[in-house]
Amino acid sequence: GSNRTVDRIILESPLVQVYRNLHTTIARNFLHSHLSTRHAEVDMTKTFEEVCQGMTKHSPHIVQMGRKSKCTIPDLISKGIGLF
């Protein structure tokens, strides 16, 4: 049948509106080029200084005996090998 029947138009009208709404939402949320081109360059100097201070103070990259962690990650490889 024809795609121009009243029933077909009524069926597709909400779908067209949904498509338009999605297109607008995606453009607004993900394509911020029109919003972000006028910003100044980001200066991360202070952020990097704070990260470096935290690394120096807490030394998370150095193994220290007795250091506690909020969570543990089980060694599933050793556990799996033990099943063989």
Tell me the per-residue pLDDT of 14-62, one tens digit each, with 9 for 90 and over: 888 888 888 788 777 766 555 555 667 778 888 889 889 988 998 888 8
Residue 78 lies in a domain: no
Residues 54-82, mean pLDDT to the nearest whole number? 85
Residue 9 lies in a domain: yes
Q: The domain containing residue 18 runs over which residues? A: 1-57
- Is 60 or 4 the better-scoring residue by pLDDT? 60
pLDDT of 33 reads 56
Query: Structurally, how many domains does the chain consist of?
Result: 1
Quote the distance between the C-alpha of residue 76 and its chain's center: 27
Band the pLDDT of 81: cuts 50, 70, 90. Answer: very high
Residue 41 lies in a domain: yes
Tokens 């453009």 -> residue: 27
Residues 66-73, mean pLDDT to the nearest whole number? 80
Q: Please give the Cα distance from 32 to 36 (Å, whole number).
A: 6
> Strands (DSSP E) along the chain, which ranges?
none
Q: Please give the Cα distance from 35 to 32 (Å, whole number).
A: 5
Q: Please give the Cα distance from 14 to 17 (Å, whole number).
A: 5
